[in-house]
């Protein structure tokens, strides 16, 4: 792995940590507002806000995984991008049960592909 790739991966890992901490803060603030607010549970505002933030953060996570994919060129990163994209669709789209089931099955197939069909060299210095 080149120095440039290592820098990109380090930046991407830090961005993922920052997004996770930000999401935790948003959940805590909205949870407090939900519990102690003026019966906001019945208006649905905190839950709609959380849905919006989760959607935006998932889009950013897919973007970060795309940066990793472009800098690494390994099958493992392609599978990760697909998993994030499908997971975002499953979490954010509140569609029919069959759509959710197909999304979960697709993620399971990607995990199985990664576990059973990849060779050791396909992981390309990744910590799995």
More confident residue, 105 or 31: 105
Distant-in-sequence, close-in-space partners of 18: CB < 8 Å, separation ≥ 6: none
Report pLDDT digits (tens) over 24-39.
888 887 777 777 765 4
pLDDT of residue 42: 47
Report pLDDT digits (tens) over 55-64.
888 888 888 8
Distance (Å, rounded) from C-alpha 81 to C-alpha 78?
A: 5
pLDDT of residue 67: 84
pTM: 0.67
Report pLDDT digits (tens) over 48-101.
777 778 888 888 888 888 888 887 777 888 888 888 888 888 888 877 889 889
Query: Does residue 23 surpass a pLDDT of 90?
Result: no
Domain ranges of the chain: 3-123
Distance (Å, rounded) from C-alpha 78 to C-alpha 66?
A: 8
Distance (Å, rounded) from C-alpha 81 to C-alpha 61?
A: 9
43: confidence class by pLDDT, cuts 50, 70, 90: low
Torsion of CA 33, 39, 44, 50, to 10 degrees: 10
Work out the burial of residue 128: count CB atoms within 10 Å of its CB; fewer than 13 is exposed, 13-18 middle, 19 or more buried: exposed
41: confidence class by pLDDT, cuts 50, 70, 90: very low
């Amino acid at each position: 792995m080149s120095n440039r790739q290592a820098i990109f991966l380090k930046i991407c890992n830090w961005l993922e940590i920052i997004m996770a901490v930000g999401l935790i803060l948003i959940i805590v603030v909205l949870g407090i507002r939900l519990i102690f607010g003026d019966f906001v549970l019945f208006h649905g505002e905190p839950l709609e806000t959380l849905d919006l933030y989760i959607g935006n953060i998932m889009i950013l996570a897919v973007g970060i995984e795309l940066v990793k994919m472009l800098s690494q060129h390994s099958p493992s990163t392609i599978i990760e991008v697909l998993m994030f994209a499908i997971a975002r669709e499953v979490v954010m789209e509140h569609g029919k049960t069959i759509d959710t089931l197909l999304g979960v099955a697709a993620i399971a197939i990607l995990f199985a592909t990664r576990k059973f069909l990849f060779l050791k060299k396909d992981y390309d210095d990744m910590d799995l």
